[in-house]
Amino acid sequence: MALERGIQVSVIYHSGILRAKESAEILGERMSVATVAELSGLLPEDDPAIVKAELDAANDSILLVGHLPFMSRLAGLLVIGDPEQQVVEFSPATLVCFIRSAAQWKMAWHIAP
């Protein structure tokens, strides 16, 4: 999946909820990512605008491990500008890659189990 696609990230952030933390640590180990940390704003009911601001300011590739409905709302906010609009069907263990070109975010690909 992600490793087969040659994906490299600088940091992995998780919500702090146990399962997300465990998943982030496994991904960090498998992808040889040194920094795996909790990031506030990734909880299921958090405002995705907070994390979008972090992503917009980032210069490096970031992997987020989070929950529904947050991840779906963040995807809608990034791509369409509306967190209530669905741009991808999220189920557990779905991976989605977003890329930023100038100030515009696009979904590059997704993998669903």
Q: Which long-range contacts (CB under 8 A, 24 or more apart) does 17-22 make?
A: 17/43, 17/67, 20/65, 20/66, 20/67, 21/65
Residue 67 contacts residue 26 (beta carbons within 8 Å): no
Task: Please write the tens of the pLDDT for every residue from 42-61.
Answer: 999 999 999 999 999 999 99
- The chain-wide mean pLDDT, for the chain, equals 91
Task: Name the CATH code of domain 11-111 (choices 3.40.50.300, 3.40.50.1240, 3.40.50.11260, 3.90.470.20).
Answer: 3.40.50.1240
* Among 55, 84, 52, 90, residue whose Cα is nearest residue 71: 90
For the chain, the domains span 11-111
Record the pTM: 0.89
